Chain A
Amino acid sequence: MSDEAIPEAGWVSPELREELSGLALRYLVIERGSGRSPRHVKERLAQMSNRFSGPQAINLRHQPIPWAYRVFYRHIGLDPDEQRTPVEAIALERMRRGGFVSQNRLDDALTIAIIESGVALRAFDADRAEGRLGIRETEAGEGLEGRPGELPARTLVIADEVRPLALLFGPIGAGRGVSPRTKRTILAAIQVKGVPDIAVEEAIWLAAHVLRS
């Protein structure tokens, strides 16, 4: 797959399309898993640590894309001050730990892409997903693997054509995320109203570039 691969548009159930306009999922399959981060990725994280400090973290809410995610969280019943949006969660971690600490190639790729673009990204094991990915509401009796009990009906989830893979902005089902055995990775961006297409594509490309490097 070339670097210029176009992210695929995921499906969104018709009810959600009507109710939550602007909600979309874009994803790209990368022919590799995670692993140790190379030196240049660690260096990039260190540079970002120097660029990103307290004032940037405080002012995140002023920026259009992080604000759009905060608003969307409110719209779907989440409190963004309790369950942080991806960019705010990473920013808070940067403040707590004194820098963006390298973890592994995939997590570093997501950190770089989320901080640079503000877009919410998730990663899944491509070989454990069946068919195209999308966003829908759960039906009665559906659950999330590794989580006891059923999910409340009409919970918003990222799903493949068979089952829910993760809660929207929440935990990923057991065995559906990227593990050391993963050979192919799905990088998925959740787009909400107010987040431009170009930012979503940039986020996926950034993450893909780091993952392949």
Chain B
Amino acid sequence: MPTELIPIEATDHPAEPAEVLDNAFAGAGVLTERRVRQDLRRQIASLEKRLGELFASAFPRKQIEWNVAAVGGPRVLDTADLERVRDGLAVRLREAQAELGRRGEIEEANRGLLESMIVAPERHRWLRISAEDVGEPPCHHWHSRPRWGLLGMLMGWWRVKLSSGCPLAEGPRPPEQEA
């Protein structure tokens, strides 16, 4: 046991223990909040990246919803708003993945149908499959038609015709050069 006590230096304004603790907790709370926000921002960045990849891989499919509503800005978002953005992105990503998966199955089935139509057009008379149906850029289609019209129909001469594709580009021209 020590026989001598170490003298403690007295201060003019000794801090109240409760006040010191409050300040320490408040500081720690601010830091924790900031870390939470930074973490949410990282999650948003990751979700945005995956959504961007999905967007590019989904092209040229249309009518898929990609927008995630804004929470209003430009401003520094608090934790609740960041959570809202993160959740909105996660929902949108999940919905877009599900929609692409659903369309993928239909397109796969259509590709199978197209193959069997090309092999045996007489078994798929008048069937028309567009490029969009198989997940390709639009403007052309495959059509099972009789060769030589009525005669082909009577004789059972069927074939698959591929349409000629997209029309030439129209609309406003690129800026003309000055002479």
Interface residue ranges, A against B (CB under 8 Å): 15-16, 18-20, 39, 42-43, 45-46, 49-50, 58-59, 61-62, 67, 70-71, 74-79, 81-83, 97-102, 137, 152, 154-156, 167-170
Contact = CB atoms under 8 A, between A and B. Distances in A.
A82 B73 CA distance: 12
Contact of B52 (A43, A45, A67, A99): A67
A19 B76 contact: yes
8 contacts: A19-B76, A20-B76, A70-B52, A74-B85, A98-B173, A99-B173, A137-B76, A156-B73
Nearest to A167: B74
Please name the 6 residue pairs, one residue from A and one from B, whose CB atoms are nearest each other, closest first. A77-B73, A99-B174, A61-B52, A79-B70, A156-B74, A76-B74
A167 to B, nearest CB: 6
A180 to B, nearest CB: 21
Interface of B: 34, 37, 41, 44-45, 48-49, 52-53, 55-56, 59, 66-77, 81-82, 85, 89, 169, 171-175, 177-178
Nearest to B54: A61
A97 B82 CA distance: 36
B143 to A, nearest CB: 27
Contacts of A77: 70-75, 77, 81, 85
A71 B75 contact: no
A76 B67 contact: no
